Amino acid sequence: MQKINVMVSSVIGGLEAERDAIKGCFSNIPFVELIGAEPFNNTAVSSSSAYATLEMARNCDLYILILSERYGMGIVGDKSATEAEYDVAIKDDPTKIMVFLKDCDERLVEDKQKEFIKKVSDYYSGYFRPKFKYSHQLKDMVLNSFTEWLKERAQLGRKLNYLDHFIRVAKQILPLETTKVFYRVAETFVELEYPIAGTTKVIQYDHMSIARDFWGCINDLQVKCDEWSRG
């Protein structure tokens, strides 16, 4: 049976209880396999740690990011391993990411971690990040979130790319409930067409913009549809 690969990404030191809690979430689910840096503690791998974990972030089905006060060590340029993994994961599929934020004393949060949290939490291009204080709270949050994610993915194939996911989300955004949306994927852009009250509204997003700012493009589409709905 092909399993769902779930990657847990965070600094390891200081979040042992949280990582154990997530293991507990999936320990009795036979179709889930946890992947990440931690399993390598007992396994020899014929590649660098950086390459291996970035590949896991790129290829995993679900990417769970846990943020605390620590930023972690640099691995790619001036990025920590966790931020580098996040960047690879979001480039592969922005809809496979879940973010959870530990409730920490703001005075203890490292400066670079504040920047990373701000980036991940951006209103338009980032994610909802439920806060937790104790590991058992995180366990419940992850299990509930996974259940909802699984429901959404139940009818999806495993080979969708970021354009497929963009269209999947975009098709749910309509100026009016009765509006139909037509789309085409050209070599360099995605075009969406909405017939509304005898007129046709057309909007395009180039592939590079979608790849760089997936949720920003989705937000822009929502704004446009709201404008069209008001006539």
| pLDDT tens profile 101-142 | 999 998 999 999 999 999 999 988 889 999 999 999 999 999
| pLDDT tens profile 11-22 | 988 899 999 999
What's the Cα-to-Cα distance from 195 to each of 167, 206, 228, rounded to whole Å?
17, 21, 11
| Domain limits, CATH 3.30.720, in the chain | 162-229
The Cα 130–Cα 122 span in angstroms is 14
| pLDDT tens profile 192-229 | 999 988 899 999 999 999 988 999 899 899 999 999 98
pLDDT at site 158: 58
| Domain limits, CATH 3.40.50.10140, in the chain | 4-153
Please, are residues 98 and 65 in contact by the beta-carbon 8 Å criterion?
A: yes
> 132 or 154, which is more confident?
132
Q: What is this structure's pTM?
A: 0.77
Average pLDDT on 33-40 reads 70
Using pLDDT thresholds of 50, 70 and 90, give the confidence band for residue 157: low
Architecture, CATH, for domain 4-153: 3-Layer(aba) Sandwich (3.40)
149 Cβ partners below 8 Å, 6+ apart?
62, 98
Which top CATH class is 162-229? alpha beta
| pLDDT tops 70 at residue 159 | no
pLDDT at site 40: 41
List the structure tokens of 170. 């975009």
